[in-house]
Structure 1
Amino acid sequence: MDIPYTFNSILYATKAETSFENLFANYNLLQADAASHPLLVTASAVTLANLRDTPSGGRVYTDDWAPVEAVTNDMILRFILGGGAESLQ
């Protein structure tokens, strides 16, 4: 899920194979259940509105196999020091 108005994404994982359709079905169940916490319903709605397909190829960064924070920090610094921050204004 791409978080609106940020450079961040949240990755969700499951133990079993799943699909976008499964997420939609679970969201519908949450909406129908009066006991569902409003924050969970809202987070699910934002997730559904910002779904992205998994890109093919490229790098996959996970904390157990890559220095995610160091690579991310390096990318941000290169962007800022390379003049990229001005393009955001």
Structure 2
Amino acid sequence: MVDLPNAELDAMIEAEKKQVAFEYHNEAWADGMSDGIGTDILAETAISTALVELVRLHGEDKAISVVDELRRRLEHGEFRVERSLH
């Protein structure tokens, strides 16, 4: 058995949960596309749903913080399809 520090184990668990969530979202996205829902509508409703939940669970300040962080990442090109990881 591998003995990992709690923080490292927590990070691994969070990464796994993010991967599973990503797969769920991809499946829902594909289902929506196959039903004829456009990408703009899917994207806007996904973002809106996420923000409603963040506000409900953590308040508007947390939601604004998340939006600010996403904006920073967007401006730095993190979401570009052609971006390179090297």
Q: Is the radius of gyration larger for structure 1 or structure 2? A: 1
TM-score w.r.t. length of structure 1 = 0.29
Please state which structure has a larger fraction of its residues in helix. Answer: 2
Q: Higher RCO, 1 or 2 (CA under 8 Å, sep at least 6)?
A: 1
